[in-house]
Amino acid sequence: QPHSWIDFKVKLTDEDKQENIVFEVKDLSEQINPTSLSVHLFTGAIPVDRYTENRADFSISSTYALFRNYINLLELSKDGLDTLYLSVKCAAEPVSFRILGEHVKAELENHKPVRGEVCP
């Protein structure tokens, strides 16, 4: 539906809290629209106003990416929180999309390649 939200609950495991996590949401439509989706990441609960600074609402590559580093995840755990909510909102046109969540190794070692991403 246009301008509708779809919410995904992510229950964090102990393994999740030891690595960085990146979520990639891929717009599967054939149109190129850099604002076709907006992706939001909430901690513990989804606020009524759905405001979060941890969001992606523009993509020239049709892939919207959000991350949480392991330090943030450990802090959440200390606060008794173990659930993230990934929310996707379609713009004026309905959009099919795919979500990939993956761990990115947090501990780096000299001379050992690691696949991952650098996010500002």
With the C-alpha atoms ordered 78, 81, 83, 84, is the resulting torsion angle positive or negative? negative
What are the boundaries of each domain within the chain? 5-104
Between 98 and 79, the more confident residue is 98
At 117, the pLDDT band (50, 70, 90 cuts) reads low
At 65, the pLDDT band (50, 70, 90 cuts) reads very high
Distances in whole angstroms, Cα of residue 31 to Cα of each of 1, 94, 95 = 17, 12, 10
Question: What is the CATH number that goes with domain 5-104?
Answer: 2.60.120.380
The answer to whether 17 and 81 have CB atoms below 8 angstroms apart is: no
pTM: 0.86
Predicted local confidence at residue 26, as pLDDT: 97
Model pLDDT for residues 97-110, shown as the tens digit of each residue: 999 999 888 777 78
Report d(CA 112, CA 47) in Å as an integer: 41
Model pLDDT for residues 25-38, shown as the tens digit of each residue: 999 998 889 999 99
Predicted local confidence at residue 106, as pLDDT: 79
Q: What is the mean pLDDT of residues 40-54?
A: 95
Name the percent of the chain lying above pLDDT 90.
59
List alpha helices for 5-98, DSSP H: 70-78
